[in-house]
A and B are shown apart, each in its own frame.
Chain A
Amino acid sequence: MASVALFPGLSDELGLDIEYTQAGNLRLIESPEYAQTMQTDIGRQQDLGLDVRWLNADDVAAMAPALAPAAILGAGYCPTDGHVNPFRLTVGYFQAARRAGADSLIGREVRAITQTDGGGAMVQAGPHTIRAATVVIAAGAGSAALCQLMGVPLPLTPFCHQSMITEPLPPLFAQMFGTLPAGLYFRQTTHGGVHFGGGDSIRRAEAHTTPQTLRYMTGRITRLLPMLRGVNVLRAWGGVDAHTPDGMPVIDRLSEAALVATGFSGHGLALGPIVGRYLARWLETGRKPALLSPFGAGRFKAAL
């Protein structure tokens, strides 16, 4: 919820339009056995103070007329959710960091991280050696190997997720959509393409697509959006997420000179900005913010 409050102001803060669209999130129900699960979910989330409600089929049809009405029984609706252009979000932060005085090295592999006698860190990146008081490891699925360089094992599992995007279309809907059971999400980008993904969760560290998963995702989305059958798909790709055993991130101190923030288990885009803010506070004050306390690496001692 803290993260949701952050997004609307980010384009102004970063000086770059991150294409944030806050039009709500619908988790669509396609078969009756999941309607009850959704109602229970909604009740639990309402108890946590989240504005979530049940929409029946007519409500969904009124809200998103592009969806095939026959395929949908209802949805869980959270009006405060949104979606964003992940590239522009990343570029915006990068440029803002540079303006604030950060140096950058792109396209270099970190081969060694060592603690210096003075208590700082020394990072070997390609031909460069960088010294710093603190190093923050936030390398997604690559974080496990970097933490291992410092002798700290983390129980991260790489999962490859697949996505596709269609050619640009006239505006169809502004909301973000997911399904229960999980397996498909979709949205229309500001550029106009319908971006959808999910499909599988295959344990592998290589980012590439598989024909079977592309067919599966296509089958599911064309049931919900039959008008997409004749629309061209431009691109399909795979990306690797780092997952933890409990699906919650690891945000902790590894040593005197190193912090880690990883294992977002598929939620890195939504949580990245708020976690980044708290990490900065931690670096500034030297004290771990209370909000980050549940995410210690110690909770996985038994798993290692």
Chain B
Amino acid sequence: MTEIIVIGAGPAGVAAAVTAAEAGARVTLIDENSLPGGQYFKQAALPAPASLPPTLAENFRQGQALLAGLSHKNITFRGNTLVWNVTPDRTVSLYGPAGPETLAAAQLIIAAGAYERVMPFPGWTLPGVMTVGGAQLLLKGQRLLAGQRILLAGTGPLLQVAGVQLLEAGAEIVAIAELQPLGSIIARSPRFLGHRDKVKLALNNARRLKRAGVPVKFGYAIVRATGENEVSGAVIARVDAAGHPRPGPESALAVDTVCLNFGFAPDTRLTQLAGCKHHFAERFGGWAAITDDNMETSQPGIFAVGEVRGIGGVEAALPEGRLAGQVAARKSGYRTDESAGPTRRAARRARALVGQLNTVFAVKPGLMTLAQDDTLICRCEEISAGQLRAAIREGITTLNNLKPWTRAGMGRCQGRICGPILAHLLAAETGLEAQSAGQFTVRPPVKPVPLSTLLPQNNNDEVAHDK
């Protein structure tokens, strides 16, 4: 039995592991990537580079400070290791360099992070159309540029943050198409008065982009991507308050890369497999794990921290991770000096801000009309919007019914990419709230693994027969 297992070595998971280890608990920290840091501190575990663009350098310094805590003797880090199943009794199934393995945890902390949301439009499956996070991964992890002439499209502050990073790394940013009109962002900006550092950062980014002559188009959406075998052009157009393209001129841009981000969705696959309760919180990215003040889920001994509780960013992830680390260590019989009060307050303050931000940068339902009947929605199984709309007209109202009906969500990604899109499509076609579509029931493995991973590891696997 492992005292504490932490799944996910992003900011929340690392903070949890370090806090619990410093309290005396023995911790196994598991991540699918070879190095800790998660998407946010992707490059921080690599040797310090000779020179980094200023915005990446700051991220690098913060990451190094956090990851330094992992050298604690109580922490075992297992990289390149996929957790493909978790059960309510805290059995964790792994697939890593040493082959398959099953661990049992006395306390389990799930810090699985989030995945990016995208919205479909004609041409969105062309090579060269990717997520903003994908382009950032290439940049931070491999120091590679995704392209030379880039359009960033979607909604949220990440578009401008990534725009500056890509610009500093040498790309040309052809345009940034931000879904929200500037007026609606400004009208809601008084909410952020108490967060001067955040506002300052955003204004800095805007100034940098302006100086470089990058057109930032507010109230615009990408309506199609064009190209033969890869993307060579993109068309953006003004949209109305509901997200429908307005009649009027479109702008055609010559690009070699389109980076999309429509916010993030919590990765609740592991908390779902563990049987934890979830709720729908639109301003935190949709379905998220429910926890108490100690970050413990509805399943005793299973904690959820960071994005899994709802999109909260690094500022929420760090205190929530520390809190779960403290409580899990205490439950394992170790004493911690740190008082939970201030950590809890920091987490709440961060969540309040991000919650506001997320409402400003909400996805608009009218965008679903961009998908033509021949636009693919489920990329793995190649199911088009038209096929899905036909099924919905037959009376389908939930993701779980749409799946066997159409095969959408049955492919290699198991609905990770199309799930949030399908929820929007169902809402748009039925007029019901997005939450009434429910979630896809998660099936193990969370990612495809070779069948040999599931082979019996001992001879105790005679199965029970009740009849």
Q: Does A199 contact B (CB under 8 A)?
A: yes
| Stretch of B50-58, B144-152, B170-178, B446-454 lying at the A interface | B446-454
A202 engages B466 (CB within 8 Å): yes
Q: Does A134 contact B (CB under 8 A)?
A: no
- Most central of B397, B411, B454 by chain A CB within 10 Å: B454
- Pick the contact of B443: A95, A203, A211, A235 (CB < 8 A): A235
A233 engages B454 (CB within 8 Å): yes
B414 engages A222 (CB within 8 Å): no
Shortest distance from the beta carbon of B159 to any chain A beta carbon, whole Å: 33
B454 engages A234 (CB within 8 Å): no
Query: Which of B375-415 touch A at CB < 8 Å?
Result: 394-398, 401, 404-405, 407, 410-412, 414
A232 engages B394 (CB within 8 Å): no
CA distance A211 to B86 in the complex (A): 9
- Pick the contact of B451: A98, A107, A201, A233 (CB < 8 A): A233
- Pick the contact of B452: A106, A107, A213, A230 (CB < 8 A): A230
B448 engages A233 (CB within 8 Å): yes
Q: B465 to chain A: which residues have CB within 8 Å?
A: 200-201
Q: Does B461 contact A (CB under 8 A)?
A: yes
Known A-B contacts A107-B401, A159-B466, A215-B456; the reply to A228 vs B445 at CB < 8 A is: no
A233 engages B449 (CB within 8 Å): yes
- Pick the contact of A230: B85, B398, B450 (CB < 8 A): B450
Q: B443 to chain A: which residues have CB within 8 Å?
A: 209, 235-237
Name A106's closest neighbour in chain B (CB-CB).
B395
CA distance A107 to B426 in the complex (A): 14
Shortest distance from the beta carbon of B276 to any chain A beta carbon, whole Å: 13
Q: Mark A209-232, 1 if CB is under 8 A from B, else 0.
A: 111111110110110000011111
Q: Does B184 contact A (CB under 8 A)?
A: no
A216 engages B463 (CB within 8 Å): yes
Q: Does B457 contact A (CB under 8 A)?
A: yes
Q: B64 to chain A: which residues have CB within 8 Å?
A: none
A98 engages B394 (CB within 8 Å): yes
Q: Does B444 contact A (CB under 8 A)?
A: yes
CA distance A98 to B405 in the complex (A): 15
Known A-B contacts A107-B398, A232-B451, A235-B410; the reply to A215 vs B457 at CB < 8 A is: yes
Q: Does B439 contact A (CB under 8 A)?
A: no
CA distance A105 to B397 in the complex (A): 10
- Most central of A167, A211, A221 by chain B CB within 10 Å: A211
Query: Which of A175-202 touch B at CB < 8 Å?
Result: 191, 199-202
Q: Does B91 contact A (CB under 8 A)?
A: yes
Q: Does A94 contact B (CB under 8 A)?
A: yes
CA distance A101 to B171 in the complex (A): 60
Q: Does B102 contact A (CB under 8 A)?
A: yes
Shortest distance from the beta carbon of B410 to any chain A beta carbon, whole Å: 7
Shortest distance from the beta carbon of B220 to any chain A beta carbon, whole Å: 37
Known A-B contacts A106-B395, A202-B466, A203-B466; the reply to A218 vs B404 at CB < 8 A is: no
Shortest distance from the beta carbon of A19 to any chain B beta carbon, whole Å: 12
CA distance A218 to B455 in the complex (A): 6
Shortest distance from the beta carbon of A155 to any chain B beta carbon, whole Å: 13
Q: Does A166 contact B (CB under 8 A)?
A: yes
Name A203's closest neighbour in chain B (CB-CB).
B466
Known A-B contacts A87-B405, A215-B457; the reply to A229 vs B451 at CB < 8 A is: yes
Interface residues on A, range: 35 or more
- Most central of B102, B410, B444 by chain A CB within 10 Å: B444
CA distance A266 to B251 in the complex (A): 59
B463 engages A212 (CB within 8 Å): yes
Q: Does A27 contact B (CB under 8 A)?
A: no
CA distance A215 to B394 in the complex (A): 39
Q: Does A91 contact B (CB under 8 A)?
A: yes
Q: Does B467 contact A (CB under 8 A)?
A: yes
CA distance A233 to B467 in the complex (A): 29
Q: Does B464 contact A (CB under 8 A)?
A: yes
Q: Does B87 contact A (CB under 8 A)?
A: yes
- Pick the contact of B462: A98, A216, A228, A234 (CB < 8 A): A216
Q: Does A104 contact B (CB under 8 A)?
A: yes
Q: B87 to chain A: which residues have CB within 8 Å?
A: 210-211
B452 engages A229 (CB within 8 Å): yes
- Pick the contact of B93: A202, A211, A222 (CB < 8 A): A211
CA distance A31 to B259 in the complex (A): 58
B455 engages A219 (CB within 8 Å): yes
- Most central of A202, A209, A214 by chain B CB within 10 Å: A214
Shortest distance from the beta carbon of B401 to any chain A beta carbon, whole Å: 6
A106 engages B401 (CB within 8 Å): yes
B395 engages A200 (CB within 8 Å): no
CA distance A200 to B450 in the complex (A): 22
CA distance A236 to B85 in the complex (A): 11
B451 engages A228 (CB within 8 Å): yes
A214 engages B454 (CB within 8 Å): yes
B412 engages A202 (CB within 8 Å): no
B456 engages A216 (CB within 8 Å): yes
Q: A210 to chain B: which residues have CB within 8 Å?
A: 87
Q: A95 to chain B: which residues have CB within 8 Å?
A: 394
Known A-B contacts A95-B394, A211-B93; the reply to A232 vs B457 at CB < 8 A is: no
A219 engages B401 (CB within 8 Å): no
Known A-B contacts A95-B394, A233-B448; the reply to A215 vs B461 at CB < 8 A is: yes
B456 engages A219 (CB within 8 Å): yes
Q: Does A83 contact B (CB under 8 A)?
A: no
Shortest distance from the beta carbon of A120 to any chain B beta carbon, whole Å: 24
Query: Which of B92-111 touch A at CB < 8 Å?
Result: 93, 102
Q: A222 to chain B: which residues have CB within 8 Å?
A: 451-452, 455
28 contacts between A and B (CB under 8 A): A87-B404, A87-B405, A90-B404, A91-B404, A95-B394, A98-B394, A104-B395, A166-B451, A202-B466, A203-B466, A210-B87, A211-B93, A211-B102, A212-B461, A215-B461, A218-B456, A222-B451, A228-B451, A229-B451, A233-B448, A233-B454, A234-B411, A234-B445, A235-B444, A235-B445, A236-B443, A236-B444, A237-B441
Given contacts A105-B395, A106-B401, A231-B451, 17 further A-B contacts (CB under 8 A): A95-B394, A157-B467, A159-B466, A201-B467, A211-B102, A216-B461, A229-B452, A230-B450, A232-B449, A232-B450, A232-B451, A233-B450, A233-B451, A234-B411, A235-B445, A236-B443, A236-B445
- Which residues of A line the B interface, CB within 8 A? 87, 90-91, 94-95, 98, 104-107, 157, 159, 166-167, 191, 199-203, 209-216, 218-219, 221-222, 228-237, 243
The 3 A-B residue pairs with the shortest CB-CB distance in the complex, in nearest-first order:
A232-B448, A200-B463, A203-B466
